[in-house]
Structure 1
Amino acid sequence: MARWVRPALCALRLWGPAGWRSLYTEVRDVPGKGHQGPSPGRTDAVAASLWGVRKASCAVGLAALNSGITGGRRPVSSSASASSIFGSGGNGKEKLFLQDLAELIRAGACRKAVVMVGAGVSTPSGIPDFRSPRSGLYSNLQRYDLPYPEAIFELTFFHHNPKPFFALAKELHPGSYRPNVIHYFLRLLHDKGLLLRLYTQNIDGLERAAGIPASKLVEAHGSFASATCTVCRRPFPGKDVWDEVMVDRIPRCPVCTGIVKPDIVFFGETLPQRFLLHVVDFPMADVLLILGTSLEVEPFASLSEAVRSSVPRLLINRDLVGPFAWRPRSRDVVQLGDMVHSVERLVELLGWTEELRDLMRQEAEKLNGRDR
């Protein structure tokens, strides 16, 4: 049985024929399935199923279910159900190192890479951690008398005082920061036809700025590319919000005067419907790359265990985190320390150094042209 059939049947059980057809539209053009290029996103029929995932017997994992489809901290215990749902595959026993993984990719043994990234990927671009007292962004937000930094992403506080959130949004305006070598490495994966999907926790839009198409992205915590009125739910393009935010105005709906909120996932909100693509993406993956994330926020964190046990997993991070710390697999590869140095080392082992430099030079020229 093809390794994607089992999760496909799971999706059918969860969402019914209509939901499955929408999911199928998204994934049918994955390399090796007979079509070229991804289809436009058509997961509208799946939206209603998000609320039903909690009750589904075909579950991603107990930890993810307990938090529904909303964000939350990862518990100490892990879920064994993810591997049973997504397929366990063979059990590779040999220990892998970074060079071994690079050789597998070069040899064409890994051609469907799923990537998970977090805030550590954007730090080299100069984006500060708004929770750090050492950052100027934190100081700017303190004038709004936040009870604690995370309140900026709580709906109750947002409705009481939306100014801190829009101050943060202005700081993250596209063009304020540029993609770095890590983003362009991921773009190169796409250009070479090796990127199945990129799952990001970041809301800075630097993956898009690096040229990775939206069809290859799952922005798990939302993005500024679109917005919605908090009262009448009317949708708006992200540009309408930026026009107001950049002149320090709270964006308002022209119909009902409600606050227009960018489609960023706040605490307790449902994740974007595209997040459901993980049901098919992860069992199809033949390599999993995890970069710059603490693997603490659910349900994103549980995805790190959703690939088959025979699939190599690479962690490039400052610290040892998640299952790499408390339940490692024999085919795990871990590179700790400076993110940029680790990615550059991988690129060197892949033999892509010159290609990456050329890509970054071309993209820098494009961005410089836009700034003029």
Structure 2
Amino acid sequence: MGAELSTQVDADTPPETLSRRDLPAVAEFILGGKCQKIVFLCGAGISTSAGIPDFRTPGTGLYSNLQTLNLPHPEAVFDISFFRTNPQPFYTLAKSLRPGQFTPTVTHAFISLIAKKNLLHKCFTQNVDTLERTAGVPPEMLVEAHGSFAGQSCIDCHAAYPADKMKEYLLAGSVPHCEACTGLVKPDIVFFGESLPREFHMGLSSVEEADLVVVMGSSLKVYPFAALPGRARAGAVRVLINNESAGGLGVRKLAKELGWAEELEEVWKSVGGGSDKKVGTEAESSEDAEPVESIDAKVGRLTEEVERGLSVVDGWKENVMKDLSIQETRINRMVEADLRGENGEISLVDQKNLGVAATDQPTSSSENRTSLNTTVKEPEHQVKKVDGAGE
């Protein structure tokens, strides 16, 4: 059940499980003892208040800003086929998205609090920023559906790559190569055209077993993740906490209804946040706090860095194409010499055979890439609200 299949439930339609369609009723359900298994489905919106830009927010999302760059399409920076031919744009971008420079949001802390209450059944996340790990979500309850920056490996031989060396390359915005086979190395995040991790498929039954499914910060446009809410059993409660830019306000309201507001702030503070925040209000920076770079400025800077990186790559590609052209001319001359008969002419049969050999080769990988991506890329549909209690 993705965004295009979701409809807002009529207010006159009585809920099947809850007493009402509001957050207090959700809190009553959790505290009443009937809710023992909570599953979270998290998207980029829960990390934007940590300073990490999402992908689709107009004007500030990564895709919106990458449209100005010399890419076949904005998503190409996360496309495995494009990465194989030109990895530099991704690494220029990854330099400013690397882990270690961001701290968990209050939403991450809320998931951790639910785990401490022994109510967390599973947390599926589309995010690759590792903030769920940093917030203390138990590894056995976490499914990083699109992988994460926590590991890195060769895309050819799949050998693991040292984390300390990867950090050096990320800081430099440079492209690392495998020490075993010299293949390209990338973080263990899932690109368009790659399969989702085994843990995702093994965890699907968790959604079917859930008493409560909470969707936070996701547009539900990327499949197969977008289909997860539809796997909930009949009678299970589904809640969407998601505004134009999802932050911590929704989980704070729910924590307050549960009587866990102070505990939530304590958990958040313990993982690096919340020291200058007030319970029940949106986060405000203290006067002594260092100014935080706006998301607009950060993404704009990322765009400039990627553009500079691409200009270097374009120059390199031009030189490579010249070399290839020279080599092709030499090869053609050699082939022509080999095909000449005693009379010095190329036979018609040889020309046909040569042509067939050429046309039998794939002319582009775009067709294969399209077929691989059909299970992953998002359909263009208007986002509609998931049924359940929203903010």
Q: In angstroms, what is the RMSD of aligned CA positions?
A: 2.9
Q: Are 1:341 and 2:266 matched, yes or no?
A: no
Alpha-carbon separation, structure 2, partners of 1:138 and 1:264? 17
Equivalent residues in 2 for 1:173-192, closer than 5 Å = 173-192=98-117
Match of residue 299 from structure 1: 224
Match of residue 355 from structure 1: 263
- SS of 2:103's partner is coil
1:222 to 147, 156, 161: 147
Equivalent residues in 2 for 1:228-307, closer than 5 Å = 228-236=153-161, 238-307=163-232
Letter paired with 2:262: E
User: Which has the higher Rg, Structure 1 or Structure 2?
Assistant: 2
Shift of 1:117: 0.5
- SS of 1:96's partner is coil
- SS of 2:81's partner is helix
Shift of 1:175: 2.1
Alpha-carbon separation, structure 1, partners of 2:57 and 2:209? 38
Alpha-carbon separation, structure 1, partners of 2:270 and 2:44? 25
Shift of 1:315: 0.6
Alpha-carbon separation, structure 2, partners of 1:338 and 1:222? 22
Q: TM-score, normalised by structure 2?
A: 0.62
Alpha-carbon separation, structure 2, partners of 1:125 and 1:345? 19
Letter paired with 2:87: P
Shift of 1:121: 0.7
- SS of 1:177's partner is coil
Alpha-carbon separation, structure 2, partners of 1:171 and 1:352? 35
Alpha-carbon separation, structure 2, partners of 1:272 and 1:131? 24
Shift of 1:275: 0.4
Alpha-carbon separation, structure 2, partners of 1:366 and 1:255? 44
Match of residue 162 from structure 1: 87
Alpha-carbon separation, structure 2, partners of 1:120 and 1:215? 23
2:70 to 112, 130, 145: 145
Letter paired with 1:115: F
The Cα offsets for residues 76-105 of structure 1, whole Å up to 9 and x where unpaired, read as: 568xxxxxxxxxxx9648543211110121
**Identity between Structure 1 and Structure 2 (%):** 44
The Cα offsets for residues 287-339 of structure 1, whole Å up to 9 and x where unpaired, read as: 111111111111111110111121111110116xxxxxxxxxxxxxxxxx754
Shift of 1:148: 2.6
Whether contact under 8 Å (2:124, 2:143) holds in the other structure is yes
Shift of 1:192: 1.2
The Cα offsets for residues 211-265 of structure 1, whole Å up to 9 and x where unpaired, read as: 1122111011111112221222212354442232212321111111111111111
Alpha-carbon separation, structure 2, partners of 1:117 and 1:338? 11
Alpha-carbon separation, structure 1, partners of 2:64 and 2:18? 50
1:112 to 25, 32, 37: 37
Alpha-carbon separation, structure 1, partners of 2:99 and 2:262? 27
Shift of 1:350: 0.6
1:204 to 114, 129, 132: 129
- Aligned residues between the structures: 267
The Cα offsets for residues 334-357 of structure 1, whole Å up to 9 and x where unpaired, read as: xxx754222111010011111111
Shift of 1:168: 2.2
Whether contact under 8 Å (2:217, 2:246) holds in the other structure is no
Alpha-carbon separation, structure 1, partners of 2:174 and 2:18? 58
Letter paired with 2:271: E
Say if 1:144 and 1:160 are closer, same or farther in 2 by CA, change over 3 A: farther
Shift of 1:137: 6.5
Say if 1:131 and 1:307 are closer, same or farther in 2 by CA, change over 3 A: closer
Alpha-carbon separation, structure 2, partners of 1:142 and 1:308? 40
Alpha-carbon separation, structure 2, partners of 1:213 and 1:202? 16
Match of residue 31 from structure 1: none
Shift of 1:286: 1.1
Alpha-carbon separation, structure 2, partners of 1:117 and 1:314? 12
Whether contact under 8 Å (2:156, 2:183) holds in the other structure is yes
Any unmatched runs of 5+ in structure 2? 7-14, 276-391
Whether contact under 8 Å (2:57, 2:64) holds in the other structure is no
Letter paired with 2:190: V
Say if 1:338 and 1:163 are closer, same or farther in 2 by CA, change over 3 A: closer
Shift of 1:186: 0.6
Shift of 1:130: 5.2
Q: Tell which has more relative contact order, 1 or 2 (C-alpha 8 A, sep 6+).
A: 2
2:119 to 165, 185, 194: 194
Alpha-carbon separation, structure 2, partners of 1:312 and 1:137? 32
Q: Are 1:122 and 2:47 matched, yes or no?
A: yes
